[in-house]
Amino acid sequence: MQRTALEAAGRAESRLRDLMVRAQEGDAAAYANFLRDLTAHLRAFLRKRLYQHLDDVEDITQEVLLAVHKQRHTYRPGEPLTPWVHAIARYKVVDLLRARSSREALHDAIDDEMQLFAQSDQEAGEARRDIAKLLKDLPDRHRLPILHVKLDGLSVAEAAQRTGMSESAVKVGIHRGIKSMATKIEGPQ
Amino acid sequence: MKTESMIDVLSAHAGPVPRHVTERRFAIAAMIGVTLAAVLMLMTSGVRADIESAARLPMFWFKLLFPAAVAVAAMWMTARLSRPGVSVGVASIAVAAPFVVLWLMAVVALLNAESAARIDLVLGSTWRTCVPDIALLALPAFVATFWAMRGLAPTRLALAGAAGGLMAGAIGAMVYALRCPEMESPFLAVWYATGIGVTAAAGALLGPRLLRW
């Protein structure tokens, strides 16, 4: 399974690189295809890594897309495309999360004053954080199906397509994953 | 905005991408840096008075060659760090090599000298002004190099800033060598290296602030 994933990445690299080279020569249709393809890859990549910030994935995807667009003159045809995109995505994600965490620190300071009114809201936030913490400890084959189906609301078939797993593996992953999360919440018997 | 419509907007307004942007920006930065430093040097102190006789000595040329080699290597390194996903690679070896050669020369010169004469080889007669003068002459190149980087996309900002500062410091040292009367390698090994190091450190400090995009 790992090998097929690598092969798929290699195919995506050469297809995207081909589109990018044509786009740099001024082919607008190739560029639109490049951006569309890249968006799908970015979204999946970010969703997998930013499970604590799933609400922001679409925003961050757009930020990265915009950065790729603005900096496309720094890609040199003939060089591998994956490290170029990855470096941009990484830079933008770190930048945005840093900005966000300093904003949130500000909110926390404000929340202190208004704790009484913020109570219910805060609980919801904490609940989600706990789930994220529990999810983090799950192996990918359990975590990704739960993420896609239970949190993103995708169908089992869509989740199977996105993760490269079979539909039954997705269902089993959800079932076992939720069971092991439940066990952890209850603590050792 | 929906991502799909954003893609439509971006691809509709995109023409062909200009070629060799990195090379062009760094060539411009180096040219401006050298020219303005030379003008600055000629306006303040001028070249050394004995330049005609000094130009017959190998040390005069080595003193130009050392910072020139550092400047070229640092420019290569900075250009690599200005593009996402490109590693420093062997550029760091190219940057280190001139320093290693100079320091070896300095050690040999010090070992061959009488112990009482060693301190003079290091301090010369201008050690107090050498570092600030190099930093001053590096200033135009510093600004130009950071301008070049700001049009590109460095992702490791402190490192890219340090590399840019290194390039600027080396250009400053190269121009300063035309007016500096010192002819001993231990002097260069300490004070030229410090002058270049100071601008590199300034670049590392300013990089995260000035190079964000």
Same domain, A65 and A147: no
CA dist B95 and B76 (Å) reads 9
Q: Are residues A127 and A175 located together in one domain of the fold? A: yes
DSSP, res A79? S
Mean pLDDT on A149-171: 82
Domain CATH number, residue A137: 1.10.10.10
Q: Is residue A72 domain-resident?
A: yes
Residue B21 has pLDDT above 90, yes or no: yes
The single residue listed with the structure tokens 């035309």 is: B178
Instruction: Tell me, yes or no, whether A111 lies in a domain.
Output: no
**Is some CB atom of chain B closer than 8 A to the CB atom of A62?**
yes
pLDDT value for A153: 73
Q: Which residues contact A45 (CB under 8 A, 6 or more apart)?
A: A89
Q: Which of A24, A58, A79 sits opposite B3 (nearest CB)?
A: A58
Q: Among A85, A105, A125, identify where a domain stops.
A: A105
Cα distance between residue B90 and residue B197, in whole Å? 20
What would the mean pLDDT of A83-100 be, rounded to a whole number?
89
d(CA A142, CA A178): 8
pTM of the model: 0.76
Q: Render pLDDT for B145-166 as a digit per residue (tens, 0 to 9).
A: 999 999 999 999 999 999 999 9
Is it the case that residue A36 has pLDDT exceeding 90? yes
Number of domains in chain A: 2
ipTM of this predicted structure = 0.88
A65 in the same domain as A23: yes
Q: Does position A179 have pLDDT exceeding 90, yes or no?
A: no
Whether A173 is covered by a domain: the verdict is yes
pLDDT band at A185 (very low <50, low <70, confident <90, very high): low
DSSP structure class, residue B211: S
- E strand or H helix at A21: helix A2-24
Neighbours of B128 (CB within 10 A): 11
For residue A25, tell me if it sits in a domain.
yes
Alpha helices in chain B (DSSP H): 3-12, 21-44, 51-54, 58-81, 91-112, 115-123, 127-150, 157-176, 185-187, 193-210
Q: Are residues A172 and A133 in the same domain?
A: yes
Please say which residue of A49, A77, A105 terminates a domain. Answer: A105
Test B82 with A74 for CB contact under 8 angstroms: yes
Contacts of B59 (CB under 8 A, 6+ apart): B183, B184, B185
CATH number for position A45: 1.10.1740.10
Give the integer Cα–Cα distance in Å for B91 and B83.
14
Q: How distant is the alpha carbon of residue A110 from its chain centre?
A: 30
Last residue of a domain, one of A77, A105, A133: A105
Other CB atoms closer than 10 Å to residue B137's CB: what's the count? Answer: 30
Task: Select the residue of B1, B16, B22 nearest A74 (Cβ to Cβ).
Answer: B22
Do A94 and A122 sit in the same domain of this protein? no
How far is B14 from B122, CA to CA, in rounded Å?
57
Structure tokens belonging to residue A48: 């997998």
As a whole number of angstroms, the distance between CA A29 and CA A32 comes to 5
Instruction: Give the residue numbers spanning the domain of A134.
Output: 116-186
Q: What percent of chain B has pLDDT over 70?
A: 100
Q: How far is CA B190 from CA B35, B73, B123, B124, in A?
A: 26, 20, 9, 11
> Is A110 among the domain residues?
no
For chain A, first and last CA: distance in Å? 35
Question: Any idea which of A5-9, A23-27, B72-76, B117-121 has the lowest mean pLDDT?
Answer: A5-9
How far is B132 from B115, CA to CA, in rounded Å? Answer: 28
Residues A125 and A179 both lie in one domain: yes
Contact B14 A39 (CB under 8 A): no
Q: Which residues of A touch B152 (CB under 8 A)?
A: 71, 74
Q: Please tell me if residue A58 touches chain B, with a CB cutoff of 8 Å.
A: yes
Task: Work out the average pLDDT over A55-68.
Answer: 89
Contact A35 B152 (CB under 8 A): no
Contact between residue A67 and residue A94 where contact means Cβ atoms under 8 Å apart:
no
**Residue A38 and residue A89 in one domain:** yes
Would the pLDDT of B30 be above 50?
yes
Q: Are A93 and A13 members of one domain?
A: yes
